[in-house]
Structure 1
């Protein structure tokens, strides 16, 4: 069912939303609910929208100003809501004669609406009479509307009755499908498929449960995506600009109008049920506005982020500010385009905001014009960076063919730049070619018009050393090796990493004379990583010992096809039981005929032999009926493991668990019954939890950290089971952790035992530019350094713990913190400024004027809090009682104070 919005109505509504000059702040809009008994949460958005559209109303008399969200909706009330939702309330004829079957008891005031509902085919009298008989004669109108009945009403209200009939004979996906009325299953299926109604859980629908007023609000609000109705006081269009309290819309008829938000507007981003900042709305996407009685906008919702703008490529030839015109060469033909300087958005390719005066000529540009008429210039993007700067850092990557440079600056942040074709590269006054730059080179560089024009190498990194191991001396921490027959020696770094393809937990003990290796040096010239290149390991999991003569270094096993595989034990063969290293002498009693073992081997030489008492991998299936776990092992093989009616499931942060708590996708270690080797007796689930670094104790070799719920934990690194690595998984020392700009630790637990601590840097600063296309953001840190963070995948952008959109949601001058979450995904949190009045301070605490008795007047200060007015750094002692300030708080501490 579609009901078009006439141009006359559109114009009238638009005219009513006049510019009113109401005071407004560009900070987040957290409007109090229009009803006193509606709290922020999943239903507030839908209640607000439907109330402002006149579809749902609040109470009267003593209930004035209240919504009663938990009250049940009766069938007759639901019909009125549906009639208003469809936009046909003006067709209700109160004076017409009304005759209904005596079986249907309906309040007189509701009868005209029920009659229209029957005429509009959203109610069928025979169906409702049958329902009364099924209910044992209960009054039809005053009885609560159930979830399955409401699904029918909704589906018919949006004109999908035939779609429901087409699937009427098919079962729904819910576990309680048998409890759904057979005549309503098609309606439940269509309503859930369209996202109008959800199950009460992922598997349960609960068809006969009553629908409350807040539930009804949510259902009809979501259903508005399926109809086109001209609700009173509402307009829609593409959002072309946001300036302070002004929103500018391009309507479908090509008319561009501006509207003013009230100081208590409700603003919702696309697909979100949490209020947000108007700056989080995506430009050129579709929005709806609903007006207040005073002509301001009280409700804003982004209904689509798909741009309503067409982009045209060209070359900017001339800027005529006096005439508000640009001359652009498009397909070789010059074309003049008029613009409105107040409404035009201008940026460079990195998202840096520009003015008309900043525009260079003879540069490639993209013009954004409206799709409807292609006559209005809404945006202009210079397709190159309009940036000039110099910097220092370390080369991360050089793409010679693609002419790009990625640099890590002194603060540890990544920056990416195009390289000018005529770039000059020097080292010690000698010219170099681009391909002579390698990752790790320390450089200084110049950027002009967004491209690197000169690079000076200040310290050349040493390339990896390839050689053959001669001698490993753990006492002197050195390794001797031969290159082209010449004997060389290098010092080993602390926590040196050894890598061997196909084998985990490799140590220096796995390195032997004759191995060909590639050695990577650290900044101190010591060997940090040794990769064994002359060996790789193949696997046999669950192999059965056919015969074992370990004294003569001979072992024969059978694989899954019962094929015999002979193996030779060497001095490098490693033995273990449950991850505990065994000597060859101790392994003899476990490796006997008929026992299952895991074997890694190179050619016929056994690299390791592990007695099968555990399997590590990812859960592919937890079959609760057959009581089996299907795992994909770390080497990509799959096993199916039976388990008893009960086993211990060890998960960090929980106490009592069982096989019911094991989920598909969990990474686990399944411990087997040693005697039978075929039954799971316990499962350790791998889980990563994020902590905030609190303290490093070098004397005791310990780390203390705080969980998000405030719980402190402390771990000792005096164990080989717990590793400490940086964000790139390179081993680091506690001393290095203490010196890094690290605040967050992602701690991986095996069961309840920590096995890995991964340290991540955190960056806080003021946004100077955003390049959504390149997935990067440029920040000015509190230290005064400009850094660029580039992300391999689109980061999550959050505010007040709610996802607010993509990189385009971030604006210049926003304060943000860039970090990762527990899964290692990049997160950018927008930190809102809080306006306060300064009162006093000491070394750890800021005191402000108390706005009310219920609000705190004290805030903890970060040790490196940045205090300033504009670009001038200040001392806290410069503040006077009564000064207006803005504070920014990260994880409970004030990190920045701005004197207003």
Structure 2
């Protein structure tokens, strides 16, 4: 698309977007131009658009990208080969750059400019400042009060608070600023903000347009630099409608031999390239090399005198599609015929189309054999869909090459590899295939996506594959021993009889279900039945991660001590069926009691009649806990006898006496007593040290929350529910994902829903709630069922006989009658198991422009919203064809589907 100069009058909201781009960054934001020397120049010497290579802007300078972009667009200039990035900006420069940025120069007065009496500027800037007053960016009365006789108004350095007032006035928020003029801002230097600008600062901060600087200060008089100007102007371009006559947006058709061809606005444009051309990407400030620019990617190109001065890759995904077809024959005039089984398909190619054999070697198309299976690669950015390459895929393959692992199918013994051209091929392996990393033989299951490999294929079967990059790999094994020094572990691979020993990384990650912060001593190593583990071995051949996947452990809950021999450490107990059992404690037995966790503390408690919970392998005791709690459901509360009966999971009723009123804990409530508990409540009864009376009761509860933020280093999650925010500490909690897999706090994202289980006031489990987003394909209200196709293309049927709540257009229904096929929905279950169906808001608009995080559409009326936040996983498509946001063109008819105000799906009509 060719971006053309806009001659429309810009609204206040557009102007405000410009100013927001100049101030909304806390490091002393400001506006800067390169025209100090131009202040005394004539109009004939006005800045030109040719880009300069500035000697004082070194490669890698933080503002390099923005300086060169704006220089190419003619918004900023240099002098004598220098840009002077650290020079301050004056008010007249700030105004001039804003006018240029909006491309409003054509609205400058052709006659003599008129300014307020005290507003003095150099001749060059007079008409720019006059236009700024006409656009209400400046307050005539206030600026006319300027009285500094030492520095003229225009030469005054633009301050942060001055820009703030201009910003707030430009968006029509003056009344709000007046209402907030007596309100403190909360900044440490609040007293330094001019009283007449205090309200403007408040409004700008509340709207998120201005932020503080270091030390919670606003720095109202702080100046800004030319490099900051270039940065903020460049970033603000995503929020304005201004187009530049020398800027083109489209897809790179080719880039070679000193020339760039860009497909834009339905035609092919050709631009020269030279050593002054600068290359960047939209999501990085790091300059690219020419070799890093690939064809078929999307780009913005700024052109000066036929040469591409600035090239920015906006989407590095190559716009190509691959089709598998059966070759039939060639015809004159570069036509290839393909056999579809029932008919023939005709495609045209041109002399630049590359023909390749199975090994990626160029061939003459005349050597193609009928019946060969071909992979046809063609670009998708133009209506012509030019064929880029045709590659032979069928037949016996014999090749040696390098690639990247894309997929490993251990069931069908197939591995998919992608070569340097992006071409993917799948090969089978057999029992003779050798897979190697360094000097070790790997199992196929140890290969991971992303591995870089060298491989040899003979007769289409993988003969050998060698992992060449330094990689992490996974090994399934049984723990045999863990050295006491904590430096090595010995294990036996699954399916092997050989022992292997490896060093541990400095701080290996240990994952163990049910253990909040496991350490090496929590691992169970045994020659016969040690922990089943998945070991991650890093590039240094050290074990960096140990995940316990299974244990062969027997559990005895509330066993009764019969006898303990401290010399032999033999413990005789009776199980729940009164069957005797002799078990043995050793130095590795994990002990727990209210008196301590060492053997000398626990042994005196092992007297006849004492209750203990034991985990063991065979007769070896892994852990022993002197029971000081009972879990189950309250079956009765006898306040006259002061006895509470609890039905345990094993079906046994435990009667527990209490003397004084025990402590009762219920999450979210204070001042609770026994009267707040009911028969059937699940509780944990905390016993005294001697197990003879009740100390406290903790009620088991669960609730659903929305994650606000996470602090992994503090094991803390901030959540909210019904408008109330709470801090939840997870150091004693088990965290699981949507599918029940173990996760870390860092895996939770703001906005996610979680079910949290509490024991009294202590959270013990945090489970992420499964959300299904997609399109309703059928509804059967009578059968209480609906079918949804999610954004991965999978269909799921949801039965809602357990209860349903449908939220649509602000109303709530208790059945599916309001849900229709074609609706987009989010489906989840609340804490009671009721299915919640949230029908998404639907917005039908014409596309305008987009960034990676936001999409802007054209309004149908003045009151319509035109800016929407994009989900990081937004699904963009036209029918069954998946698209990218960047592929959308101005005025495309699109439908947005919003979930809680965020766009999760875009349908191109």
TM-score by length of 1: 0.44
TM-score by length of 2: 0.44
